[in-house]
Structure 1
Amino acid sequence: MKKFQSVVLAAAVMAALGACGSSQKNSAPQPRDGIPSATGEPASSAHRAEQAKVPPAFDGSKGWAVVQAERLTQPTVAPHSQLVLFRKAYEDGTAFGVEARDATTGAVRWSSAPWKPSERTADFQEDDVKLFVTSKDGKDYAVLVAALQEGKDAISRGTSIAKASVFAADSSGKDVAPARQVSIPGAGSSARPHDANGTLAFGNDKEVTLVDVTTGVLAAPQDSRSRDYLLRITGSVNGTFQLTDAWPGQAIVPAGAQESSGIESGTSHGVRGGYVVAQWPSKDEAHSALGLPMNYVWALHDESRGNPVYALPCNGLNESAVGSENQAVLSDNGRYLVTAYTAFDLQAKKGYCFGGTQETARVDFVGVDNAGTAYGKARTPSGTGIPVSVDIATGSHAELSGVTLPTRVSGDVALYESAPQNDKDPAADLAHHAVLSVYPKR
């Protein structure tokens, strides 16, 4: 076991919503909870997942699965409700719903009534119906969003509009009706949810509209370069957005970072629980033999005011690039945060840098559970990566030999997604093919 650099943070943070690999085919379908199974038989329980080599904290023999024939897609975690939500497709893709499963057992907790975005099937496509989760005051909301081109025909392109159907994640029973429905003029289905204030941001080339799903109220449209929207889509836009532009005139440069206002002066890598996670070039500037920056400062900024709440220096790096796959992820209980190669214990006010140096391999994190165990891959010269776990409370790590990392870790479960089979292939066994397998903690 080995400890890495730790830093005392300035304050604790309130946060929510954990973030997102392969799975095995599951065994023959089991009936589940009163919902018809893939075979059409009465249902009483979730499908059983095949035994899998999962991280030791989870039980690879007690998982549940969703099979392709159930037409449940877009698994989305409701962090406060301990549910996994799915978009369900009905009637050849003309109606949709939400199905909520207990994250630990896979039991169906509730299912919505079928929802048709429009009576005219020409107005939308199945792929343009998305499922999102947003939260406020510890309550989760499931939101089905459909992008429509109303009035579209062979000649007319139609009028762009998004329609949203909102459900409380703590619902119960079957055929649950939406709490409210909202129409957003000019918007598509690529909404950006906020994990703590109950809003979705809908943007196009010209403007952004914020929707409060708890009330259905639409805020006045903002310019498409509004701070809120640009921070939500993570990172720079067209190479021009900088954190120094987000809060003009505010002192937002964290301790140890450069004061420069150049394009490299701070990049957002996610908004979580009211905080912006950002990477800054260090004031203690240094470069490798190849001319690459070696020193950075990672900081969490108050989302509203921009002031840095705490910062973590990462020095001596030999590879510091951060891609779109390196997203900020919070544990469901809001205590632990990982992003790219950094990990934070927000309650203990400690942070750790796992960037690659001459002495250590870089770890790219993919998730963290409520106990503070983070999971990721240690980079190898070949680029394949070795699965590892890190105890954020201590900074110590362990190699996970033979383990397949989860697609995501949420609360006390590990989720494994796999690609659907081609349903036009005569050999495809859709009734047995698991598109999601979920394994609980031991």
Structure 2
Amino acid sequence: MRGPRRGGVPGGGRFSRVGRFSRGGGFSRGSGFSRGGGEGTVRQRVVRMILVGGVIVLALLLLLATCGGGNKPATTKDDGAARKPVTNVLDRAPRLSVPDAYDTGRGWEIIGGSPDVAVAHDENRLAYLERVGGDRFRLRTIDPETGQRGWDGEPWRPLFAPDRFPRLLSVTKDAQEYFVTWSYGRLSADALRPADSIVSLDIYNASDGSRRRVETPWADAPQVSAAGPAILISDGKATSAVIDPATAEVVKVPPGSLGYPKGCKECRKLTEVRGVTEKGLLVSGAKEFWVRGGWYSRQGAPKDTDSASGVPASMASGFILAKWQKKKGASDARTHEVWAVHDAATGKAVAQVRCRKPAITPAEDPRLIASPDGRFLIAGRLAFDLDAKKAYCFEETDGTQPLTLTTVSDDGTAYGAVSARNTSDALAGGGNPVKVNLTTATPEALATNVRLPSAETSGVGLFRWTDSKNHPHLVGYPRRG
């Protein structure tokens, strides 16, 4: 395929193998006391009473130790969950066909884990959910660089039917990383009104697994996200609640408190709370968007665009991806649009690129994905180099054969597929796999059977596959060298 169209600034090692994990051994039975008579019997009875009393005291101590409060470090006790959730990839065959940059001779594998995983880059932890029995789930963590097990959360029951996994997110506030699991449903099977439903969240400190539980009433099906420094619950419209991951404080924001900008008629149409920034809620209307109590999109409109046309698509790593219409009268206003990334703190456009309008508008906007260090951003056919302040749109000049990107690493290597319908299709093998060097914007075709990484962290690519028994597998392969 041809190279991308470029945009720019507006206006201008260690890896160790991991063996299989197995359950620890239990207590073995010893020989009992034999019967006797006389003085020996009395002594034996005394000994028995002392032993029984000791056992009772020990049991009480164990009970107290396991019934502590909710904000305690997680344990690594194996209580009957999957015996070998993490295995050495050398213990199985065949190896997956992946890009040459990854070493399939080393790595780890999780079997039967959740579709969602979450990563705490600074803590070097990857979290996933696994089933415990028939109706409970538990959060587990590993070191993605080595595959070694970290802390485990306590098993819990979600509010909905246990035939599907709860959702899993990650959020960072003040340099502290958290994992968040959530479910939605009714506290009681006898509840009849939607108002009896709640959103239940467990917020884990990524460093030690200490947990806070938050439950808040919610009448409608919720949308829960964590792209900014807090957790956002919304109804997909103007009603929202913000949860501070550090304190578990819940602040509900009614539609009348969104701080509509003066003179923006379109802001009161199709109003939607989109996310949380360090400055406040990100809100949009039918056109234009703003941060409550902060900036307004007209102030940061990219060059050569209609300043009243911006609509946000997604957020990641302190940046907002937004779509803008060309200025009226521009020769390409009917065929092209502008995509820009904005600094979430100021609203200023950092980089922008011109793309052809699709023949059919996608049902979902592209999701912004950041490299682990935050320098590079990708979203569908779009890519941004924040250090160089450059942007790219990977497609042919007539808009055909767009490239859907799935992941990007710290060195600017991105992977994706040409002519895939969306990111899920590309990860499932749709389209033709491609590697792109974002520092030079040079695409390179890969073999058609290459499986694309769904993410990368700590120099390890994450790959998914499903076996013949429909068991999901997540494999971590390290980069070579």
Q: Scaled by the length of structure 1, what TM-score is found?
A: 0.74
Report the alpha carbon displacement of residue 208 of structure 1 after superposing the two structures with TM: 0.8
Return the alpha-carbon distance in structure 1 between the equivalents of residues 194 and 339 of structure 2.
46
Return the alpha-carbon distance in structure 2 between the equivalents of residues 249 and 196 of structure 1.
18
Task: Give the corresponding residue for 2:57.
Answer: none
Report the alpha carbon displacement of residue 31 of structure 1 after superposing the two structures with TM: 2.1
Return the alpha-carbon distance in structure 2 between the equivalents of residues 220 and 157 of structure 1.
18
Letter in 1 for 2:231: L
Conserved in 1, the CA contact under 8 Å of 2:350 and 2:386?
A: no
Letter in 1 for 2:183: A
Conserved in 1, the CA contact under 8 Å of 2:89 and 2:105?
A: no
Return the alpha-carbon distance in structure 2 between the equivalents of residues 46 and 128 of structure 1.
25
Letter in 1 for 2:474: L
CA separation of 1:132 and 1:380: change in aligned 2, threshold 3 A: closer
Offset from partner CA, 1:298-335 (integer Å, 9 cap, x none):
21223354x33323232567768555273111001111
Percent identity (aligned): 22
One of 184, 196, 201 as aligned partner of 1:159:
196
Return the alpha-carbon distance in structure 2 between the equivalents of residues 96 and 38 of structure 1.
12
Matched, 1:255 2:299: no
Report the alpha carbon displacement of residue 364 of structure 1 after superposing the two structures with TM: 1.6
Matched, 1:6 2:6: yes
Task: Give the corresponding residue for 2:232.
Answer: 201
Task: Give the corresponding residue for 2:249.
Answer: 217
Question: Relative contact order, CA 8 A, sep 6+: which one is greater?
Answer: 1
Task: Give the corresponding residue for 1:107.
Answer: 148
Return the alpha-carbon distance in structure 2 between the equivalents of residues 224 and 416 of structure 1.
45
Letter in 2 for 1:281: Q
Return the alpha-carbon distance in structure 1 between the equivalents of residues 185 and 356 of structure 2.
50
Return the alpha-carbon distance in structure 1 between the equivalents of residues 374 and 299 of structure 2.
26
Task: Give the corresponding residue for 1:182.
Answer: 214
Report the alpha carbon displacement of residue 367 of structure 1 after superposing the two structures with TM: 1.4
Gaps of 5+ in 2: 12-17, 24-76, 260-270, 277-283
Report the alpha carbon displacement of residue 219 of structure 1 after superposing the two structures with TM: 1.7
One of 362, 382, 406 as aligned partner of 1:342:
382
Equivalent residue runs for 1:204-283 within 5 Å? 204=235, 207-223=239-255, 230-232=273-275, 241-244=286-289, 250-259=298-307, 261=308, 265-283=309-327
Task: Give the corresponding residue for 2:435.
Answer: 389
Report the alpha carbon displacement of residue 253 of structure 1 after superposing the two structures with TM: 2.0
One of 393, 398, 413 as aligned partner of 2:444:
398
Matched, 1:32 2:21: yes
Equivalent residue runs for 1:43-442 within 5 Å? 45-46=87-88, 48=90, 50-68=94-112, 72-93=114-135, 95-116=136-157, 124-126=160-162, 127=164, 129-153=166-190, 159-171=196-208, 176-178=209-211, 180-186=212-218, 190-197=222-229, 199-204=230-235, 207-223=239-255, 230-232=273-275, 241-244=286-289, 250-259=298-307, 261=308, 265-283=309-327, 285-286=330-331, 293-305=334-346, 307-314=347-354, 321-324=361-364, 326-358=366-398, 361-379=401-419, 385-402=431-448, 403-418=450-465, 429=469, 433-442=471-480
Letter in 2 for 1:192: V
Greater CA drift, 202-211 or 385-394: 202-211
Task: Give the corresponding residue for 1:15.
Answer: none
Q: Aligned pair count?
A: 387
Offset from partner CA, 1:24-44 (integer Å, 9 cap, x none):
xxxxx9622767699976898
CA RMSD in angstroms comes to: 3.9
Return the alpha-carbon distance in structure 2 between the equivalents of residues 80 and 279 of structure 1.
31
Conserved in 1, the CA contact under 8 Å of 2:10 and 2:303?
A: no
Return the alpha-carbon distance in structure 1 between the equivalents of residues 456 and 95 of structure 2.
18
Gaps of 5+ in 1: 12-28, 118-122, 234-238, 422-427
Larger radius of gyration: 2
2:273 partner SS? helix
1:417 partner SS? strand
Return the alpha-carbon distance in structure 1 between the equivalents of residues 165 and 129 of structure 2.
12
2:320 partner SS? strand
CA separation of 1:160 and 1:394: change in aligned 2, threshold 3 A: same
Report the alpha carbon displacement of residue 352 of structure 1 after superposing the two structures with TM: 2.0
Offset from partner CA, 1:105-133 (integer Å, 9 cap, x none):
3221111122345xxxxx54224732221
Report the alpha carbon displacement of residue 63 of structure 1 after superposing the two structures with TM: 3.4
